[in-house]
Amino acid sequence: MNPRELARAAPGAAFTLTFDGGPVTALPGQTVAAALWAAGVTSWRSTRGTGRPRGVFCGIGVCFDCLVTVNDRPNQRACLVPVRPGDVIRTQEGTGRDDD
């Protein structure tokens, strides 16, 4: 039995968002990080200095490793932001601003 069956959970209908130009299926209540992980994406930011890949580290919004751009808003913590149908999510480069 999977956890949803054990909890008798019945999530709402799946919907689509866009990540780096491609479609990603998500469920209501998922965070950006959860939706990306479920789609097999584990890195969505690179560090400013060395360009090293980053994704979720702490998972509770403390470390800022999971920063992502959501609907043209940079520096959103993927582990905290709930997804919505039609969201446009992009990998964040450095600080996410044009003045990097």
Q: Any idea where the domains of the chain sit in the sequence? A: 12-93
| Position 16, amino acid | T
Query: How confident is the model at residue 100, as a pLDDT?
Result: 45
pLDDT attached to residue 96: 66
CA separation for the pair 96, 75 (Å, rounded): 6
pLDDT at residue 98, rounded to an integer: 53
In three-state secondary structure terms, 35 is helix
**Mean pLDDT along residues 62-86:** 94
pLDDT tens, residue by residue, 22-36? 999 999 999 999 999
Which two three-digit tokens encode residue 48? 């400013």
What pLDDT does residue 63 have? 87
Which segment, 21-25, 59-63, 94-98, is predicted with the most confidence on average? 21-25
CATH class of 12-93: alpha beta
Q: For the whole model, what pTM was predicted? A: 0.83
Instruction: Give the residue carrying structure tokens 């998972």.
Output: 59
Dist. CA 56–CA 62, nearest whole Å: 11
Q: What does the radius of gyration of the chain's CA atoms come to, in whole angstroms? A: 14
Of 80, 48, 78, nearest to 66 by C-alpha is 78
Cβ neighbors of 2 (< 8 A, separation 6 or more) are none
- 23 phi/psi in degrees, rounded to 5: -75, 145
